[in-house]
Amino acid sequence: MTSNINRTAKDIIAQTADRYGTKPSVILGRDIARVASVPRQAAMAAVQRNLGYSLPRIGRIFKRHHTTVLHGIRAHKARKAQETTT
């Protein structure tokens, strides 16, 4: 595993894709189906958490508007909170 110091957004996207059993191209793609959006939201949240990137910068990586990134990160956090309470 790559150390946090040397991690890049590409590394995080690849690891997230592996964890969700999909490909990085699906995470970075235009598909809005749940099979793509859930791992994409997780990757966005991981990039923000691990790299501290701004919403606009994350948006450029994922080719999304920064408000879409904000929604994705919030949705991921809500999903995680719900998983821990059930």
The pLDDT value given to residue 6: 60
Angle at which helices 66-85 and 34-51 pack, to 10 degrees? Answer: 100
The token pair that represents 81 in the structure block: 């909170």
Tell me the average confidence (pLDDT) per consecutive run of 10 residues in the chain, 86 residues long.
65 97 97 96 98 97 97 97 88
pTM of the model: 0.90
Buried b / exposed e over 60-81, threshold 16 CB at 10 Å, is ebbebeeebbbebbebbeeeee
Sign of CA dihedral 16, 30, 10, 55: negative
